[in-house]
Amino acid sequence: MKIRLQYILLIIGSLITLSVSAQQMPGFTQYQSTIMYSNPAYAGMREGICINGLMRQQWAGFSDTQRGDDVSPQTFLITVDSPVKVLHGGVGGSITQDVTGGLLKDVGLQLSYSFHANLAFGTLGIGAGVNLINKSLDGSIFDPVVGGDPALVTSEQGDMRADVNFGLFLMNPGRYYFGFAVNNILESNYKKLDPSGTDAGMKNDRTFVVNAGYNFVLNNPIFEIEPSLMVISDIASTQYNLSAIVTYNSRFWGGLNGRLGDFESIGVIVGVSFKDFRIGYAYDINMMGYSIPGSHEVSLGYCFKIKGDRSKTSYKNTRYL
């Protein structure tokens, strides 16, 4: 059984028409590499200037059976952050592009600052950030009934809005971390994408994010096991990611991730690091049925170490570089 694009467009069109089309932030299987994107308090918590990139192709090969177009959702993410001693914390930012079936495209720029407080049991980051999000909708893809539908956009339209984020992040190097963030607090509304001109059109979704992980060192110190979780919720819906990663000699790692809530997928994760460079790959096996294919995710990261005194509370796991 194949799901056709028309049904997806019908659902999206209905959401727009019903004015409940809030857009939740994208999620990732290798969420340990995207904390800078989901929580502004993480800025500068590492030892140097760190750059991370990630590409995700959801449901790879999914296509419109009539038009033949590849309509699988794709997300591209680049983050950068660094500690800044004179600011008593760190700064960071991200650039994202999220494309959904050629219909919706979000391009976002995020800038963040985090104040760091050294505590007896770790380092606490208190962060805030601002988003600039350009959202575009290609209404020409819609194929409404004869005579058209005044509730639908019929051409390519775009709108840009600003929003804000806030987060807390507590980290004890090599042992545990916990983060909480609220993204898109203002729930900015994209009025230009709503033909009715009301305030109830497409908007950013206020999203709550929780990250947590604990590092267990086995009797043989070459091996480490880290269970972790990431919860993303807009109150109306909640997604749970549970992972377990085994690292060998601080260089090779592999593990599993389960995306729960609707039990969407099981992800297989592998990765390797060399000096300050790391690469990771994840493949999600679809568990929803409907002949939907799996998803691919590739991540890259590199840290430029800052010379001088290193913070005694820096996290040294290579998957967080």
What percent of the chain has a predicted confidence (pLDDT) above 90? 50
Q: What is the CATH number of the domain that holds 162?
A: 2.40.160.40
Number of domains observed in the structure of the chain: 1
Nearest CA-CA partner of 118 in 165, 83, 92, 80 = 83
Q: Where is average pLDDT lowest: 101-110, 186-195, 196-205?
A: 196-205
Q: Would residue 28 be called left, alpha or beta, if left means φ above 0 and alpha means ψ between -120 and 50 degrees?
A: beta
When pLDDT is cut at 50, 70 and 90, the band that residue 67 belongs to is: low
Distance CA 85, CA 79 (A): 20
Evaluate if residue 84 carries a pLDDT over 70. yes
Distance CA 47, CA 39 (A): 18
Residue 152 backbone dihedrals phi, psi, to 5 degrees? -110, 140
Please give the average per-residue pLDDT across 233-250, as a whole number: 92
pTM score of the predicted model: 0.81
The answer to whether residues 169 and 196 touch, using CB atoms and an 8 Å cutoff, is no
Kindly list the distances between the CA atom of residue 247 and the CA atoms of 37, 120, 202, 255, 316, in Å, as whole numbers in the listed order. 24, 27, 42, 9, 12
Distance CA 170, CA 153 (A): 44
Q: Which domain holds residue 43?
A: 5-21+30-320
Evaluate if residue 214 carries a pLDDT over 70. yes
Can you give the pLDDT at residue 311?
A: 47
Can you give the pLDDT at residue 4?
A: 46
User: Three-state SS for 28?
Assistant: coil
